[in-house]
A and B are shown apart, each in its own frame.
Chain A
Amino acid sequence: MNNLGFDKDLLEGLKLQDKNCIEKIYRQNFQMVQSLILNNRGSSDDAADIFQETMIVLYEKSINPSFELSCQLKTYIYSVARRLWLKKLQQQQRIGLQTDDFEQIIPVEDDLEDHQKQQDSFTIMEKAMAKIGEPCKSLLEAFYINKKQMQEIALEFNYTNADNAKTQKYKCLVRLKKLFFAEYKY
């Protein structure tokens, strides 16, 4: 019954974004979440979305050194997915989730609050990215989001050398930072 050791390995793998671990987590839990969503007026697309968001929450937790799984991974995933779906239903004014809780649930409100804050700052970042204009946007995305090498970027954007591209990148970064903090409030 006690899978905690095994669950811990999966979390370690998720932290490194190991594909096999991600697949295992899907295999072990997806159908449970899907039946929760389908039994509660959701579609299979909704189930995929909710599961993906649950994976993101789990990933955020896995990289947090102070996080310790205090229950089975399955229970945690079910609780998060359930809460996320409930929130979505409430947003759509279809209040009242009638779940047949075959799974145990634990309170996850705090975790989801952290998750929401993180998502909000990502939204602001993406807005700032959209505002900054080209070529800054593509340059920063190539370096920071897609993690390309400076050499590669210089070639792609027709800079004569990597140093010039780097100087340009920092100028763009200063602008992005200003746009970001103009929206972001502590």
Chain B
Amino acid sequence: MEESLLIQTTERYFKGEMSEQEKISFEELRNNNPEIDQLIVEQIYFLQTLHKLSDQKRLIHHTNETVAKLTSEGFITNKQPKISADIISIWHKYKKTVAVAASIAIVVSVTCASIISIFSPGKQNSIKPLVEKLREQDVKYKKLEKQIGKLNEAAISNAPLEKPRLESKFRATGFMIDVVNNYLVTNAHVIAEAKNHLIVENNKGEQFAAQAVYVNVDKDLAILKITDEDFVKLAPTPFSIKKTNADLGESVFIMGYPKQEIVYGEGYISARNGFQMDTIFCQLSTIANEGNSGSPVLNKNGELVGVVSSMETNVEGVVYAIKSSNIFNAINEMKQTKENEDIKITSNPTLKKSDRVNQIKKVQDYVFMIKGD
């Protein structure tokens, strides 16, 4: 009986039905009796749950009514909506405008570039791409290393030797965005180095043949496809790609191959635009080295916000990255072509709750060395 009275009183308190004076004495009672207070906390929680359950049932009722209404109107159908067709028709509609805009952009950028070269002589070379060109010596050393490796292997087992490894003339970085069709993102200037062969190498040192399927020199973006049949498909990529710009001051990390193993680096977004206010890029404050070209730039939630492209040679720690939104543009352009219309972003973001060490563990399998000759 006493409990019934307590629940009754609590309910009046919960619903705000008490007079000021009643409320004061009720709160005093709670303050002075921790045991009663605990009971009341439980009861409020209980009443809240009931209350919320009622709200939810009402909401469900409303949504069911809405669905019924929209179905009778024909707005909701069981047929598959043709989203992609819509996008293509939008593309057709705006194709001309886009073409005009693009040509204006080209004219403007060419003019600006020449102005820069006239008015800031010498500055031209102050920004350099981060592809590491391997020296002759390194190539020789690697050859030797490989021969020794092969000998050891042959000695251990009589298994057939692996396919010949490529003697690469450069090393850069790229990362996977589509695990179904094996598409990777890297820089356009990386691809330019591969005159004969192009391969990707994972963090276990396995090499796979690849092919550039999209190159956009203006945005310094390229997309590769692993064509090698030996490549074992990966699970969906653990990071999503951010469509909006990263915030100024946001802390970021990069992973890439400035050496023959994966290297982690930290930094922050230090400016919204890149070299000479180029809006395609943003500026990072971090340390990057040759070989970091194409490295993914991720924020603390593990969202991809950029792709490392180049660095300032005159100022320490200034690195430029292509804003991630450009990747979406590249993908949309690729979808227009028959051969690459299958490209998808296969992200299943699982990094938000992980600490940095685990984020790195999850991401590293998706970051590849890009090599070629």
Contact = CB atoms under 8 A, between A and B. Distances in A.
A107 interface: yes
B236 A19 contact: no
Most chain B C-beta atoms within 10 Å of own C-beta, residue among A63, A71, A98, A110: A98
A55 B56 contact: no
B66 interface: yes
Contacts of A177: 7, 42-43, 46
A30 interface: yes
B58 interface: yes
A162 interface: no
Interface in A127-186: 144-147, 167, 170-171, 173-174, 177, 180-181
Nearest to B75: A27
Contact of A22 (B49, B50, B63): B63
Interface stretch (B189-197, B207-215, B346-354, B360-368): B346-354
Given A30-B70, A177-B46, A147 B349 contact: no
A170 B63 contact: no
B7 A173 contact: yes
A59 B51 contact: no
B80 A38 contact: yes
Question: Chain B: interface residue count, which band?
Answer: 35 or more
A17 B62 contact: yes
Contact of A100 (B51, B55, B345): B345
Contact of B62 (A19, A48, A173): A19
B53 A145 contact: yes
A23 B69 contact: yes
Given A107-B303, A122-B49, A145 B4 contact: no
Interface residues of A, number: 53
B49 A96 contact: no
A30 B76 CA distance: 8
Contact of B59 (A56, A96, A97): A56
Contacts of B353: 109-110
A23 B59 contact: no
Interface of B: 3-4, 7-8, 42-43, 46, 49-60, 62-67, 69-70, 75-78, 80-81, 83, 87, 180, 235-236, 240-244, 301-303, 344-349, 351-353
Given A17-B62, A110-B353, 11 more contacts: A30-B75, A38-B80, A52-B63, A55-B63, A96-B235, A96-B348, A100-B345, A101-B347, A104-B240, A107-B352, A121-B49
